Amino acid sequence: MELADSELLRTSAYIDGAWADAHDGATFAVYDPATGVEVAQVANLGEKETQVAIEAANTALDDWRSRSAKERGAILHRWAELIRDHADDLATILSAEQGKPHREARGEIVYGTSFVDWFAEEAKRAYGETIPSPVADRRNIVVKQPIGVCVGITPWNFPSSMITRKVGPALAAGCTMVLKPAEQTPLSALALAELAERAGVPPGVFSVVTTDADGAPAVGRELTGNPLVRKLSFTGSTEVGKLLMAQCAAGVKKVSLELGGSAPYIVFDDADLDAAVGGLLGCKFRNAGQTCVSADRILVQDAVYDEFVERLTDAVSGLTPGPATGKADLGPLIDEQGLDKVRRHVEDAVSRGAKVIVGGSQPELGGTFFSPTVLTEVPRDALIMHEETFGPVAGLVRFRDEDDAVSIANDTSYGLAAYFFSRDVGRVWRMFERLEFGMVNANVGGMGNEAAPFGGVKESGIGREGSKYGLEEWLEIKSLTLGGLDD
Ligand code: NAP
């Protein structure tokens, strides 16, 4: 891997301000999903080392939370600046372990820093309140304080920004953090730790514990079970999120969960079809469809169905899969398991009557690449309509009217993102109110910025990242009743 700054490629874990190997020297391999070639061997830690990291976070807490928000913010701004300065190298590392095109990886790096900068400012505004007391000689006062030692567990699909979205607000609020990245993508996390150290984040304030998938349950039990930990912030599958939430229940730890989704993408007959097609290209094929807010159920109204299929087919035929370093529009799927799921969803839909219009199989590249695919006439009971596909497959379904669209869209246990296209202002407002999702998007296929709350309802999660609401996730409310004011 060619890097301008080779120090960014770290393979040891980062605990209490020092690079640490596993007690027994164990390592695990990280592979480039585009080639299957080994990229690095990374320290494979267990619960003992995790415990050390948590204790270091606890030791570091007093000094960190007692600094002013302005002082913590200055360090975080420096971190964001260093990340941007090294965006090319960080994108190279990210692409090598995750597979997305370099340009897209660079976009993720820069997007991730926006949360660090945002919360470096926002923490200065963690205002308290005075509340008029019903008792004449008393006053009620509320302050917001950092929760304490926090832990984060993050997935492989956004190996950098899912980390900055947690560590930025946690540290800004005055919490300390131990983070466990996914087995497939630890290198991006370690590079962020290297830059955090350079930015002046003190030892123990941010540690990264690396482990493979076999070790994740034991490390996860320590992270969720250690009594020093007060909060877990998890991004990943709903299945693992439920397990970790149950583990946290024993210690009544606060949880924030960013889980799976099954986004409806609704195109009404009065939509700007070019905008709807353009939006779908980003929403469905970015990161080869491996995003939680990916359009999974594309609902198109009868009157514009054929026209939409034609325009979408033209656009999708122009997308090229390939390795990150070339000019490809999308990379490979993360692993064989991911590829199997995408194949299974396509086969299932076809066996139930769907038609393959574009793609539908692997391109000549082989490996874990899958061709950008358009399926039409997908039946409502197909797997693709009920499970996350996590691949570049656009499955289209017809609908009759607004009620029909709402009923299909809400027929899911997920509630993360929803999209619809319509130019009728009354309908826009009705749809916004009726869709049971945490993030509704009208006439736009992309979303997510540091100023807007990101998160889901139903089984898609608890809590919000980004925005003024995102800071609250890392703060506790403490009240003071001040009495005896009378002479
Ligand atoms: P995953 O299997 O749930 O893994 C996520 C993280 O949890 C990884 O670090 C994984 O470690 C760890 N993990 C797995 N089992 C664990 C256990 N028993 N104890 C502790 N940690 C454990 O999810 P994924 O397949 O990596 O990611 C894709 C999922 O994330 C999708 O469902 C997607 O929708 C969701 N996602 C949601 C958002 C959002 O903001 N809502 C954003 C991105 C992704 P190992 O890798 O070592 O197994």
Q: Does domain 6-259+460-479 have CATH number 3.40.605.10?
A: yes
Q: Does 258 participate in catalysis according to the annotation?
A: yes
Ligand 1 site-directed mutation target among 50, 157, 161, 208, most atoms within 8 Å of CB: 157
Cα gap 281→269, rounded to integer Å: 19
Tell me the mean pLDDT in the region 296-319: 98
> What does each C-alpha distance from 171 to 72, 112, 233, 487 come to in angstroms?
7, 15, 13, 43
Residues of the chain with pLDDT > 70, as a percent, come to: 100
> What does each C-alpha distance from 453 to 73, 375, 400, 471 come to in angstroms?
20, 32, 32, 10
Does residue 438 carry a pLDDT above 90?
Answer: yes
| Residue nearest (by alpha carbon) to ligand 1 atom 17 | 217
| Residue nearest (by alpha carbon) to ligand 1 atom 41 | 258
* 188-221 per-position pLDDT tens digit: 999 999 999 999 999 999 999 999 999 999 999 9
Q: Ligand 1 mean position to 458 CA, how many Å?
A: 18
> 335's torsion region: left (phi>0), alpha (psi -120 to 50) or beta?
beta
Tokens of 336: 């064989």
- Residue that the structure tokens 């950008």 belong to: 372
The ligand 1 atom nearest the CA atom of 460? 41
Closest CA to 31 of 105, 99, 101: 99
Domain ranges of the chain: 6-259+460-479, 263-449
Same fold, 6-259+460-479 and 263-449: no
Identity of residue 333: L
Where does the pLDDT of residue 326 fall: very low under 50, low under 70, confident under 90, or very high at 90 and above?
confident
Residue 314 CB contacts under 8 Å (≥ 6 apart), including other chains:
none
Cβ(420) to ligand 1 under 6 A? no
State the CB neighbour count (10 A cutoff) for residue 57: 27
| Alpha-carbon torsion (88, 325, 261, 263), positive or negative | positive
* 361-416 per-position pLDDT tens digit: 999 999 999 999 999 999 999 999 999 999 999 999 999 999 999 999 999 999 99
Does residue 325 carry a pLDDT above 90?
Answer: no
Q: Is 105 exposed, middle or buried (0-12, 13-18, 19+ CB in 10 A)?
A: buried
* 150-203 per-position pLDDT tens digit: 999 999 999 999 999 999 999 999 999 999 999 999 999 999 999 999 999 999
Cβ(236) to ligand 1 under 6 A? yes
Cβ(416) to ligand 1 under 6 A? yes
pTM: 0.98
Average pLDDT of every residue of the chain = 97
Between 186-190, 241-245, 312-316, 483-487, the lowest mean confidence (pLDDT) is in: 483-487
Q: Ligand 1 mean position to 358 CA, how many Å?
A: 30
The ligand 1 atom nearest the CA atom of 158? 43
The superfamily in CATH containing domain 263-449 is Aldehyde Dehydrogenase; Chain A, domain 2 (3.40.309.10)
Residues of the chain with pLDDT > 90, as a percent, come to: 98
Q: Ligand 1 mean position to 235 CA, how many Å?
A: 6
- DSSP reduced 3-state for 172: helix
Cβ(160) to ligand 1 under 6 A? no
For 361, list phi and psi in degrees, rounded to 5: -150, -170
State the CB neighbour count (10 A cutoff) for residue 340: 12
pLDDT confidence of residue 487: 81
Cβ(183) to ligand 1 under 6 A? yes
Q: Ligand 1 mean position to 157 CA, how many Å?
A: 9
HEC readout, 178-247:
EEECCCCCHHHHHHHHHHHHHHCCCCCCEEECCCCCCCHHHHHHHHHHCCCEEEEEEECCHHHHHHHHHH
Does residue 259 carry a pLDDT above 80?
Answer: yes
Tokens of 287: 């990161």
Do the bridges between strand 355-358 and strand 417-421 make them parallel or antiparallel, or are there none, so unpaired? Answer: unpaired
Cβ(259) to ligand 1 under 6 A? yes
Q: Ligand 1 mean position to 224 CA, how many Å?
A: 15
Does residue 462 carry a pLDDT above 90?
Answer: yes
Detail the DSSP E strand segments found in 88-138.
129-131
State the CB neighbour count (10 A cutoff) for residue 247: 18
Cβ(260) to ligand 1 under 6 A? yes
